[in-house]
């Protein structure tokens, strides 16, 4: 035991305690620490842990019915040599498959996802939580924010609820739900790590939420939720696999884009027509303003709303609609949060003085979004969408296939029943409607009634597939 100091003796005298009494108290304290937490303390800790666990469970149960897995096919420029050889001369080139996630936001089948999930897609199909597998059409997309809306023809879906992402606070718990690596309805948790992340160089408009909830390839387009089960963001990208840094488009931006796409097929964004930059400490010193005083205007477009509002290069925009602006990112965010045609009050710093002016927001001039392959398909292919032919034993040997001339799939029509069943060019049919080792003619005869039950061999594995018109 450490000897008592003079200061300790003075304290004891003031408290009316003797040295032996203090020693006994210290002994009891050490004994209590050695014994560990009491049963009551353990129960209290377990109760708190259960509350948090129950909160995560409730979010998963509430949100999962609104989450979908999205499967896409795209032309595969890196197909292996066998598939290239099989596909040569055919109208259907080898295809690659990808998986993403999405969130239902209307009961009649409108689904919000990322643009990069469906970009370049030949076909888009959706797995619903109830097991249904439905083809989807592209309603519209917005590459500037990496968002897109697709739609399936069904009714009575559970639409997700959206939260106000501006009201979220850094440090709040969040839950991500999606299909990382094709593993559907995976739930991960973390916190909201930061807000307003931009300048990542990935998209034209960046205002991301950052989270440490685990996000991996396949999570893209899925929801990031609060503990109320409301969508606060659309998971979009990661910085390095396994780094614990993921980014999501805020729900306010995502919902605004989704509603416009669903209504008109495109996004119309507000614009004032200025170029702006942050105030560096050096600029702020020379201009005699605080570095966080606002966004420095460095250019004003001809015939722009800002020009008509008499904004000039060198002005510092300090507030938009009474909301303080601290940098150029704030300025972009505030303008984009309003609708085209609205008139806003701006507070401007010029030559050390504050001025007020009004600006009427115009539509941001943006190039038309080009169509992607799935929008250029035209009328879906008739039949089951399957092309087969028998290979000679020599051809089969060259392709590394069984020597018997089994039917080989040489073409899959995008969007067809065969495509939705997951069949690929290069698959070998080893059984059709219970008949083993069929010929191509037998496959064609079996398809006459508009449906097929196939057992298919793909490399070293086999599986069944059901096709129906």
Task: Specify the number of domains making up the chain.
Answer: 4
User: Residue 153's domain spans which residues?
Assistant: 53-267
Task: Confirm whether 44 is domain-assigned.
Answer: no
* Whether 214 is catalytic: no
* CA dist list (Å): 347 to 132, 257, 305, 327, 350: 54, 28, 15, 14, 10
Residues 258, 405: one domain? no
Residue 422 — pLDDT band, cuts 50, 70, 90? confident
Task: Confirm whether 42 is domain-assigned.
Answer: no
pLDDT at 84: 39
163: nearest Cα among 115, 221, 224:
224
- Answer yes or no: are the C-beta atoms of 163 and 230 closer than 8 Å: yes
Q: Residue 15 pLDDT > 80, yes or no?
A: no
pLDDT at 242: 57
pLDDT at 307: 95
Task: Confirm whether 40 is domain-assigned.
Answer: no
Residue 194 — pLDDT band, cuts 50, 70, 90? very high
Instruction: Give the residue from 307, 328, 363 where a domain finishes.
Output: 363
Encoded tokens for 131:
């097991």
Residues 223, 316: one domain? no
Task: Confirm whether 422 is domain-assigned.
Answer: yes
Q: Residue 58 pLDDT > 90, yes or no?
A: yes
Instruction: Give the residue from 320, 338, 363 where a domain finishes.
Output: 363
Average pLDDT over residues 325-342: 92
Residues 392, 450: one domain? yes
Residues 262, 277: one domain? no
Domain harbouring 334, CATH code: 2.30.42.10
pLDDT at 323: 93
Of 66, 92, 101, 116, catalytic: 116
Q: Residue 76 pLDDT > 60, yes or no?
A: yes
Contacts of 315 (CB under 8 A, 6+ apart): 296, 297, 348, 349, 350
pLDDT digits (tens, 9 = 90+) for 136-190: 999 999 999 999 999 999 999 999 999 999 999 999 999 999 999 888 899 999 9
Task: Confirm whether 455 is domain-assigned.
Answer: yes
Residues 309, 410: one domain? no
Residues 300, 218: one domain? no
Average pLDDT value for the chain: 84
Encoded tokens for 223:
């929801």
Of 66, 179, 220, 416, catalytic: 220
Residues 260, 320: one domain? no
Encoded tokens for 436:
């083993």
Residues 78, 141: one domain? yes
* Whether 146 is catalytic: yes
Residues 88, 173: one domain? yes
Rounded Cα gap, residues 80 and 391, in angstroms:
19
Instruction: Give the residue from 308, 335, 363 where a domain finishes.
Output: 363
Residue 103 — pLDDT band, cuts 50, 70, 90? very high
Encoded tokens for 197:
């992340």
Task: Confirm whether 347 is domain-assigned.
Answer: yes
Of 92, 146, 207, 327, catalytic: 146
Rounded Cα gap, residues 421 and 283, in angstroms:
61
Task: Confirm whether 45 is domain-assigned.
Answer: no
pLDDT at 444: 87
- In this predicted structure, which of 106-115, 362-371, 400-409, 436-445 has the lowest mean pLDDT? 400-409
Q: Residue 396 pLDDT > 60, yes or no?
A: yes
Residue 123 — pLDDT band, cuts 50, 70, 90? confident
pTM value surpassing 0.85? no
Task: Confirm whether 343 is domain-assigned.
Answer: yes
* Whether 462 is catalytic: no
pLDDT at 404: 65
Residues 291, 162: one domain? no
pLDDT at 11: 44
Residues 318, 438: one domain? no
Residues 70, 157: one domain? yes
């Amino acid at each position: 035991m450490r000897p008592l100091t003079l200061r300790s003796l003075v304290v004891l005298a003031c408290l009316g305690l003797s040295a032996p009494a203090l020693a006994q108290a210290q002994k009891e304290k050490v004994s209590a620490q050695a014994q560990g937490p009491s049963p009551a303390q353990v129960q209290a800790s377990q109760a708190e842990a259960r509350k948090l666990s129950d909160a995560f469970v409730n979010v998963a149960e509430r949100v999962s019915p609104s989450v979908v897995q999205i499967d896409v096919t795209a032309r595969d420029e890196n197909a292996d040599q066998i598939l290239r050889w099989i596909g040569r001369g055919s109208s259907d080139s080898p295809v690659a498959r990808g998986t993403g996630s999405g969130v239902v936001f209307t009961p009649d089948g409108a689904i919000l996802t990322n643009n990069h999930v469906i970009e370049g897609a030949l076909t888009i199909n959706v797995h619903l939580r109830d097991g249904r597998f439905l083809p989807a059409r592209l309603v519209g997309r917005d590459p500037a924010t990496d968002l897109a809306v697709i739609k399936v023809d069904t009714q009575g879906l559970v639409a997700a609820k959206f939260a106000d992402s501006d009201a979220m606070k850094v440090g709040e718990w969040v839950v991500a739900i999606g299909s990382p690596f094709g593993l559907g309805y995976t739930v991960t948790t973390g916190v909201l790590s930061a807000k307003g992340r931009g300048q990542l160089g990935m998209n034209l408009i960046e205002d991301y939420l950052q989270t440490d909830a685990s996000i991996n390839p396949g999570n893209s387009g899925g929801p990031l939720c609060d503990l109320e089960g409301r969508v606060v963001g659309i998971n979009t990208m990661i910085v390095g696999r396994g780094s614990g840094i993921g980014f999501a488009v805020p729900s306010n931006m995502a919902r605004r884009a989704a509603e416009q796409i669903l209504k008109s097929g495109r996004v119309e964004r507000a614009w004032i027509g200025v170029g702006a930059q942050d105030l560096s400490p050096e600029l702020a010193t020379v201009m005699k303003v605080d570095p966080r005083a606002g966004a420095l205007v460095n250019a004003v477009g001809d015939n722009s709303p800002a020009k008509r509002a008499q904004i000039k290069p060198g002005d510092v925009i300090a507030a938009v609609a009474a909301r303080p602006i601290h940098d150029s990112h704030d300025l972009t965010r505030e303008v984009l949060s309003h609708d085209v045609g609205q008139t806003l009050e701006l507070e401007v710093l010029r030559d050390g003085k504050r001025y007020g002016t009004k600006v009427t927001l115009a539509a941001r001039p943006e190039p038309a979004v080009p169509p992607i392959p799935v929008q250029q398909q035209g009328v879906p292919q008739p039949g089951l969408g399957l092309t087969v032919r028998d290979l000679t034993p020599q051809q089969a040997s060259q392709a590394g296939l069984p020597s018997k001339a089994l039917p080989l799939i040489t073409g899959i029509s995008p969007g067809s029943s065969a495509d939705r069943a997951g069949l690929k060019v290069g698959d070998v049919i080893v059984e059709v409607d219970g008949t083993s080792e069929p010929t191509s003619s037998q496959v064609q005869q079996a398809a006459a009634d508009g449906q097929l039950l196939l057992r298919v061999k793909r490399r070293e594995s086999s599986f069944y597939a059901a096709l129906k018109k």
